[in-house]
Amino acid sequence: MSYGIITSKPGVNVSDPTVERKDLTFDSRLEHFQYQTTDKVVFTGSGVETIAHNLGYAPAFMAWIKENGQSQWRTVFRNVGEFEAYVDNTNLYLYGNTGDTIRYFLFTKPINPATVTDKVTTGGYGIISVIPGANANEPRLHEINFSSDFGSLIIYKELNFTIEISGAGTTTSTQSHGMGYAPTFIASVYDGLNYYTEPFIYADFTDQVTLSVLVDTTNVVAECSVTSSFVPMTAQFKVHLLTEDLD
C-alpha cells in the first residue's frame, strides 16, 4: 500500500515492513474507536435513566459507575438489580440507585452494521480519515475511522498486577497511576486458567470468585474476592488506562 497515514509507538520503526499493527498508534486503513457523545448521570432515585442518542442505530458503548458514597469507579456490566447499561437504535438506558454516578461513552461504530441507515455527518474543518472505499467528502458516521471532531480511546498507560491469594476473603493490590484524574480503563484478568474481560465472576452453589478493577483520581486497585475452595490461587490483571476522564 502506497498511501495513507501510519504512526508508531516510540522506538518502533514505522517503515519496517514487519512492524506489527499492535505497535502502531494510528493506521488510516483501520477503524479506530472514537466517541461522539459522553456524559455522566447522577441518579436522584433508583431506576432507569434514558438518554436519546439520535444516531438511528445502536452504537457500541462503554460505561463506568461510581456507586453512592464511593470514590472509586468500576466497569458497568449486567448487574441486574444494581446497575447496568444497554442501547437500542434510539436510546441508551442506564440503571442505577440513588446517589450512583454513571459515566458513559457512545462510540461512532454501530454494534450491528446491518442496522445503519444513511446518516451523513457535516463539519467545516479538521482532519478526517475514512475506511477504504468510503467517500471522505460525504462519509456516513460509521465509515469514519478518525475525525478530529471526535474524542478517542487512546491508551495512555498499562499497569500489570499479580495477586497471590492464600486465604479466603478480599485481597487487593494498589498502584498509583499518576494521571491526576480518574481515567477510563479497559482491563483483562487471569484466574489461573483462562483470560477474561474484567470483571470476572464465577459462582456455583457454594463458592465464588470475583476479580475486578477500581479506579480513582490517584490509584488503580486490583481486587480479588474468593472463597476458601479456590485458594491458594494467583490472579493477574492488565489494566489499560485511557486518556478520557471519568469525573
**CB burial string 191-215: b at 16+ within 10 A, e below:** beeeeeebbbeeeeeeeebebbbbb
Q: Which is nearer to another protein, 69 or 180 (CB)?
A: 180
Applying CB under 8 A, among 71, 98, 112, 234 the residue interacting with another protein is: 112
In Å, what is the CA distance from 88 to each residue of 3, 161, 233?
37, 36, 40
Query: Does 98 participate in binding another protein (rule CB under 8 A)?
Result: no
Q: Taking phi first (over 0 means left), then psi (-120 to 50 degrees means alpha), and beta for anything else, what does residue 223 get? A: beta
Q: Which of residues 18-77 bind another protein (CB under 8 A)?
A: 20-22, 24-27, 30-34, 58, 60-63, 75-77
Least separation, in Å, of the C-beta of 135 and another protein?
20
C-beta closer to another protein: residue 25 or 97 = 25
Binders of another protein among residues 116 to 155 (CB under 8 A) are 127, 146-155
Residue 188 binds another protein, judged by CB under 8 A: yes
CB of 30 to another protein, least distance (A): 5
What single string gives the DSSP state of each residue in 205-246?
A: SS-EEEEEEEE-SSEEEEEEEE-GGG-SEEEEEEEEEEEEE-
Q: Least distance from C-beta 45 to another protein, angstroms?
A: 22
Which residue lies nearer to another protein by CB, 190 or 230?
190
Cell of 74: 468500576
